[in-house]
Amino acid sequence: MGPKAVVGLAGALIVVLLVLSSVYIIPETHRGVKLRFGELVQTDIPAGLHFKVPVIDQIREFDIRVLTMDLPSRQYLTVEKKPLDVNSYVAWRIRNVDQFYRSTGGDEFRARSLILSRVDNGLRDEFGVRTMHEVVSGQRDQLMNTLRDRVNSNVVGEFGIEVLDIRVKAIELPGQVSENVFRRMAAERQKLAQEFRSRGQELAEGIRADADRQQTVILATAFAEAEETRGAGDRQAAQIYADAYGSNEEFYSFYRSLQAYQRTFSGKDDIMVIDSDSAFMRFLKDPMGAN
């Protein structure tokens, strides 16, 4: 290859490089700005194929999609001076690329810091005029909508940023306050439980006393009925014995004597000294019981 061919090839390569460095593409999800010698010469460059002056021009691209940012947990005071730990997030996007670049220098981190500052001040103001019940449930949606409109009206014209939504993810009591609240709730529950126990014990004592009274009445009634039945039985037995004795006095006397002998002589080691002429021994001396 001769010198002319080498020079021609080098020239063609330089031309290709110049053409390639003169062309740039902006994605559909982005918008761009053109800087020449560090100065802004074109803003809000749409998506597509564009040209620039090599080396002299510099292109900056910015994402115009909806972005979300979690805010660090912050503590705010309600109108009752009660502290609350709040976790929230912000949904935002770049609305005016020109204003965004001029106010932030195209630094997304700076833009996030500016939004965080505005939202933080807004939350502090909104919580400061509401009670705990209102910020937790009663007026929570109203609070978020009011705060979004307020912050958005500030940052749109100042930074070219549109705040689409601000939401509170969690509202919690600080650790020490939560512990005190839980301790107070536990004390209230213990007091209520003690009241129920005392009331139950009182009812139990009443039921137990009534049961004891009923037991005493039942036992007394049963004892009276038993004594009455026993008395009637004794009367009936005495009458039967009397009737039996009257019908055959001789046999009844003989039967009673046999029972007396059986009870008297049942013990083998018993010793009795009895006159043989006594009435007790008459049936032993004479089976007919003659004296």
Side-chain-side CA neighbours of 291 within 13 Å: the count stands at 3
What is the H or E stretch that residue 20 is in? helix 3-22
Task: Report whether 22 contacts 53 (CB < 8 A).
Answer: yes
Task: Report whether 173 contacts 181 (CB < 8 A).
Answer: yes
What is the H or E stretch that residue 178 is in? helix 175-247
The whole-number pLDDT of residue 92 equals: 92
* Strand ranges inside the chain, DSSP E: 23-26, 30-36, 39-45, 48-51, 57-63, 67-77, 83-94, 161-172
**pLDDT of 4 above 80:** no
Instruction: Tell how strand 30-36 and strand 23-26 pair up.
Output: unpaired
pLDDT category, 56, cuts 50, 70, 90?
Answer: confident
What is the torsion angle, in degrees rounded to the nearest 10, for the CA atoms of residue 113, residue 134, residue 170 and residue 78? 60
Region 245-269: mean pLDDT is 70
**pLDDT of 285 above 60:** no
pLDDT category, 51, cuts 50, 70, 90?
Answer: confident
Q: Lowest-pLDDT range, 9-23, 31-45, 67-81, 85-99? A: 9-23
**pLDDT of 72 above 90:** no
Q: Could you give phi then psi for residue 173, rounded to 5 degrees?
A: -75, 145
Sheet arrangement for strand 30-36: 39-45, 30-36, 57-63
SS3 at position 103:
helix
pLDDT category, 90, cuts 50, 70, 90?
Answer: very high
Q: Cα separation of 129 and 236, whole Å?
A: 98
Q: Mean pLDDT, the chain, as a whole number?
A: 81
The whole-number pLDDT of residue 23 equals: 85
Q: Cα separation of 60 and 94, whole Å?
A: 14
**pLDDT of 48 above 60:** yes
The whole-number pLDDT of residue 173 equals: 77
Residues contacting 35, CB < 8 A, separation 6+: 41, 57, 58, 59, 60
Q: Where in the chain is the domain with CATH 3.30.479.30?
A: 67-172
For residue range 130-151, what is the model confidence (pLDDT) as tens digits? 888 888 776 778 888 888 898 9
Query: What whole-number percentage of the chain has pLDDT above 90?
Result: 9
Single pTM value for the model = 0.55
For residue range 142-186, what is the model confidence (pLDDT) as tens digits? 888 888 898 998 888 889 999 999 988 888 877 665 566 677 778
Number of Cβ within 10 Å of residue 181's Cβ equals: 11
**pLDDT of 263 above 80:** no
For residue range 13-39, what is the model confidence (pLDDT) as tens digits? 665 566 667 888 889 989 989 888 888
Alpha-carbon distances, residue 256 vs 182, 250, 280, 283 (angstroms):
89, 10, 11, 11
**pLDDT of 272 above 70:** no
Better-scored residue on pLDDT, 202 or 9: 202
The whole-number pLDDT of residue 45 equals: 87
The topology under which CATH files domain 67-172 is Tetrahydropterin Synthase; Chain A (3.30.479)
